[in-house]
Amino acid sequence: AKTDNQQPTLVDADSLRYDDLKQTSVFTGNVVLTKGSLTLRADRLELREDPEGFQHGVATATGSKLVFVRQRREGTDEYIEGEAERAEFDGRNDKIHFISRAVVKRLACEQVVDEVRGQQITYDQRAETYSANGGPRAATPNQRVRTVIQPRESGGAAQDNGCARPGAPAAAKGGR
Amino acid sequence: MRDRLASAVSIILLVSLVAGTWWAADYAQRAVTTDPPRRLTHEIDSYVEDFVMVRSDPEGLPSTRMEGKRLVHYPDDDSSEVTQLRAVNQRADRPTTVVSSNFARMDEDGARIDMRGNVDFQRMAAQGRDALTIRSEQMTLRPDEDLAFTDQPATILNGRSRIQGRGMRYNNVTRELSIAQRTQVEITPGKSPAPRQP
């Protein structure tokens, strides 16, 4: 989502340790990062700024919790939601790498349209595509990449008519 | 028997003479009031106005320079209180820091400065790093260790980021800033104004 790049980055956390020499900040304790439509929740976030001013971050979660990332796709009502034990985002070429037990879902009007599971999934924010590969710590029983694509109603692709207007009864669509 | 009486009389005379002079000396001693012991009460014993005070480090180089409107000194705990203090702390190998506040209290022979009233702590831009500004209502400084910390809410501005939180602690030696609670950071996009040599 290109517009997100122009938005300020807001980070809320319990504590922060900022090293001015190495220009890195380490946030710990219910970290919430928001930048435009991108939101990220983790237990620990290390944010670094390279000389050209691009931000690079490594977010990890403690215990069995996963890092959660959600971002709106440019100009649509679709959202991308990603979860993994570790998320690295690269501000220079706008990529988010979800590493180990990675699950990335695409949602239209809060309905999961498709879902990919694997060990590492890279989501390219610019091209809005994602690529996945399997491995020992994949989120699938057989350590391989598994993609689930939901059937679309005939001719009723969610993006064309947008979501059901708020307030209109959503009885037509099954609950998630 | 007569000479015994004579010697007794002379002895008595001598003893009384000695006692008399001893008493006279003691009386003279008590009559002069010696200086009263130093009043160690919490009352101002000296004050300076529009002062500049420079502390130097062991090698004799000026390390801390303090200016202020009025400094008053208290003898009992050897502390001093300053209004409108401005303290510049500079070391050869470290960026200069300038701190100002409405009120400051120095004790432990200037090793600890407790500052109150819109405290403004500035670490000058150095080595390609942006300047760092910390503002709070109260801040404690330890100039010799180049430390600044506060439990009050503090706002920190550095380059394009703006940090708020409580329990701020900044160490100018390791150049590390830590916030203990409720950290909120806002980083505006775009290139930061300062020159960015690595």
Locate A29 and state its tokens: 């304790």
Question: Cβ contact (<8 Å) for B179 and A15?
Answer: yes
* CB–CB contact A18 B163 (8 Å): yes
B183 and A17 in contact by Cβ < 8 A?
Answer: no
B176–A19: do the CB atoms touch at under 8 Å?
A: yes
A5 touches chain B (CB under 8 A): yes
- A71, A88 Cβ separation under 8 angstroms: no
Q: Which fold has domain B46-187?
A: lipopolysaccharide transport protein A fold (2.60.450)
Q: How confident is the model at residue A164 (pLDDT cuts 50, 70, 90)?
A: low
Q: Where are the domains of chain B?
A: 1-29, 46-187
* Cβ-based contacts of A16 with chain B (< 8 Å): 163, 165, 177-179, 183, 185
Among B95, B161, B163, CA closest to B135: B163
Identify the H or E element spanning A167: none
CB within 8 Å: B197 and A51 = yes
| pLDDT for residue B193 | 45
Per-residue pLDDT at A170: 43
Q: Does B182 touch chain A (CB under 8 A)?
A: yes
**Which chain B residue has the Cα nearest residue A48?**
B187
Question: Is A25 in Cβ contact with B185 (below 8 Å)?
Answer: yes
Q: Which range has the worst mean pLDDT, A74-88, B33-47, B118-132?
A: B33-47
| Residue among A11, A20, A53 minimizing CB distance to B185 | A11
| B129, B183, B190 ranked by CB distance to A20: nearest | B129
Q: Does position B2 have pLDDT exceeding 90, yes or no?
A: no
| Chain A contact probe: residue of B157, B183, B184 with most A CBs at under 10 A | B183
CB of A136 less than 8 A from some CB of B: no
Residue with tokens 């239209």: A108
Count of helix runs (H) and strand runs (E) in chain B? 1, 10
How far, in Å, are B16, B17, B19, B23 from residue B10 at the CA level?
10, 10, 14, 20
pLDDT digits (tens, 9 = 90+) for B5-52: 999 999 999 999 999 999 999 988 888 777 766 667 788 889 999 999
Predicted confidence at residue B191, as pLDDT, reads: 57
Q: What is the pLDDT of residues B39-97, one digit of tens each?
A: 677 888 899 999 998 988 888 888 889 899 999 998 888 899 999 999 998 888 888 99
A21 and B178 within 8 Å at the Cβ level: the answer is no
> Taking the complete model, does pTM exceed 0.80, yes or no?
no
Specify the 3-state DSSP secondary structure of A26.
strand
- Average of pLDDT values for A150-169? 54
Residues of A in contact with B134 (CB under 8 A): none
